[in-house]
Amino acid sequence: MKSVVLNKKVRGAFVPRSSNVELPFVAVTFAMTVDGKVTTKNYDSVDFTSREDKAHLIRQRALGDAVLVGHGTIENDNVRLGIPRDDLRKERIARGQPPYPIRVIVSNKGRINLGLKIFESNFAPIIIFSTTRMPRKTREQLQGKATLYLSQARRVDLRRMLQKLRYDFKVKYVACEGGPALFRSLLEQGLVDQLNLTIAPFLFGGKNAPTLTGVKVDFLPRSVRCSLKEMRVVGDECFLTYSVRKKR
Ligand SMILES: NC(=O)c1ccc[n+]([C@@H]2O[C@H](COP(=O)([O-])OP(=O)(O)OC[C@H]3O[C@@H](n4cnc5c(N)ncnc54)[C@H](OP(=O)(O)O)[C@@H]3O)[C@@H](O)[C@H]2O)c1
Model confidence over 26-59: pLDDT tens digits? 999 999 999 999 998 888 878 999 999 999 999 9
Q: Which helix (H) or strand (E) holds 128?
A: strand 126-131
Q: State the distance from the centre of ligand 1 to the C-alpha of 178, rounded, in angstroms.
A: 6
Helices 86-94 & 51-63, crossing angle to 10 degrees?
A: 20
Give every residue of the chain whose pLDDT is below 50, as ranges.
Answer: 1-2, 5-18
In a domain, 132, yes or no: yes
> What's 80's domain CATH number?
3.40.430.10
Residue 21: what pLDDT?
Answer: 73
In a domain, 71, yes or no: yes
The H-assigned helical ranges of the chain are 51-63, 71-77, 86-94, 136-142, 158-169, 180-188
The CA R_g of the chain, rounded to the nearest whole Å, is 18
In a domain, 141, yes or no: yes
In a domain, 220, yes or no: yes
Residue 14: what pLDDT?
Answer: 43
**Closest atom, ligand 1, to C-alpha of 129:** 33
User: Is-contact 34 201, C-beta < 8 A?
Assistant: yes
Domain total in the chain: 1
- CA distances in angstroms from 20 to 15, 85, 159, 163, 166, listed in the order given: 11, 37, 11, 9, 12
Task: Report the Cα 63 to chain-centroid distance in Å.
Answer: 13
User: Is-contact 173 29, C-beta < 8 A?
Assistant: no
User: Tell me: the pLDDT tens digits for 170-187?
Assistant: 999 999 999 999 999 999
Residue 248: what pLDDT?
Answer: 57
Residue 16: what pLDDT?
Answer: 47
Q: How far apart are CA 88 and CA 62, in angstroms?
A: 6
In a domain, 15, yes or no: no
Indicate whether residue 70 lines ligand 1 (CB < 6 A).
yes
Indicate whether residue 108 lines ligand 1 (CB < 6 A).
yes
DSSP reduced 3-state for 47: coil
Indicate whether residue 214 lines ligand 1 (CB < 6 A).
yes
In a domain, 16, yes or no: no
Indicate whether residue 179 lines ligand 1 (CB < 6 A).
yes
Give, using CA atoms, the residue closest to atom 45 of ligand 1: 43
Residue 20: what pLDDT?
Answer: 63
Domain membership of residue 87 as a residue range? 3-10+21-244
pTM, rounded to two decimals:
0.93
Give, using CA atoms, the residue closest to atom 35 of ligand 1: 107
Give, using CA atoms, the residue closest to atom 47 of ligand 1: 45
Residue 173: what pLDDT?
Answer: 98
Q: How far apart are CA 195 and CA 177, in angstroms?
A: 10
Residue 246: what pLDDT?
Answer: 79
User: Tell me: the pLDDT tens digits for 72-81?
Assistant: 999 999 999 9
Residue type (1 letter), 5: V
Indicate whether residue 185 lines ligand 1 (CB < 6 A).
yes
> How many C-alpha atoms does 219 have within 13 Å on its Cβ side?
4
